[in-house]
Amino acid sequence: MPWSQVTVSDQREEFLGLARQPDRNFADLCRRFGISRKTGYKWLLRPNAHDLSRRPRSSPTRTAKALEEKVVELRGEHPAWGGRKLAHVLRRDHSIELAPSTVTSVLHRHGLIHPDDSAAHTAWHRFEHAQPNDLWQIDFKGDFALDEGRCHPLTVIDDHSRFNIVLTAMSGQTRELVQPALTRAFQRYGLPERINADNGPPWGSGGGGITGLCVWLVRLGVTVSNSRPYHPQTNGKDERFHRTLLAEAVAGRHFTDLAAVQLCFDQWRTVYNVKRPHQALCMQTPVERYRPSRRPMPKTVPAPQYGLNDQVRSVHSGGFVKFKGKEFRTSQALHGELVALRPVDDQDGVYDVFLCHQRVDRFDLREVKSAQT
């Protein structure tokens, strides 16, 4: 993943957060971030100002006024953070012990909490997968206007850790834009076991069929699933991330173009992943729970591998497949691919269509016309 000169410090903080994990592969992590092991060790041994601020240290007695000023100052830096997050960061980074209720009272006294804020920030308990990279959630946040065009933010969240994998300002919602962004993410973080998306393009056809982007993902060894129509809660963590992104990085700001949005996104992403405590993670930050995948991005897309008993056929133009003298139609996105046909137990004449590990279609020979010769 290329390093932008304006975000080197942000990516350095992310690298340090991941490099401090006890079970990390340091050489592999350096390779994924595009730095030498010598540079990586130098960074670990020479912490930056933020690292120094988080070391436990004694603090002189502070007056009540000075404490209030510190609370107000921190709230000014993070206007969307409530009492729990602010109290945690005050203790972690500044050795200031204040109860969350005390911090909240300070915010109320200074008129920094809107009456609707408490309801809006009510925590929800959601199911989470057991390990990082078991599931990534992908989606586009609602687009918004710029001086030049519109921005369509592409977001990817790791289900277990809430770590933000991708946050990219895009000009549209096409495979041609999404695939390079996912390629960069795979090169840095490795491959997830599964990606869940909604049913819209470019990862959903709307009618349940597979798309070209999904074909690419499946060929890489990633399982693709789609949320039920009109049930955005299936991607609930990414939806919640969108609300946080809107409140902390987008609302009230004016952007000229995509480059300006991306600069804001890069800076805020570091805050979200490395500094911002998460209530659903027991006030840990996402980087403390995330681990890069042990499945590296392959240099070339591997060929499909099928079993000896599979009936393997090529998908022709228009998505047509010939089998047992019949011809049925599957997705046009599979044109040129080799698929496996497997009989469905206890359903005579019914076959499942597999691309690599994933079932992509089903057909009944009794309902399919004979192929024309």
Q: What is the pTM (predicted TM-score) of this model? A: 0.78
Average pLDDT for residues 43-54, to the nearest whole number? 62
Written as one string, the DSSP assignment of 78-95 is -TT--HHHHHHHHHHHH-
Residue pLDDT, tens place only, 66-102? 777 777 777 777 777 777 777 777 778 777 877 777 7
Cβ(237)–Cβ(162) under 8 Å?
yes
How many other C-beta atoms are found inside a 10 Å radius of the C-beta of residue 259?
Answer: 13
Cβ(102)–Cβ(70) under 8 Å?
no
Q: Which single residue is written with the structure tokens 């340091």?
A: 26
Cα gap 170→188, rounded to integer Å: 20
User: How buried is residue 123: exposed, middle or buried, by Cβ count under 10 Å (0-12/13-18/19+)?
Assistant: exposed
pLDDT, residue 372, reads 62
Q: What values do phi and psi take at 30, rounded to 5?
A: -60, -40
Angle at 220 between CA 214 and CA 222, to 5 degrees: 65
Residue pLDDT, tens place only, 299-312? 999 999 999 999 99
357 versus 84: the higher-pLDDT residue is 357
Cβ(60)–Cβ(70) under 8 Å?
no
**Which range, of 93-102, 140-149, 213-222, 247-256, averages the lowest pLDDT?**
93-102
Sign (positive or negative) of CA dihedral 31, 34, 36, 40 = negative
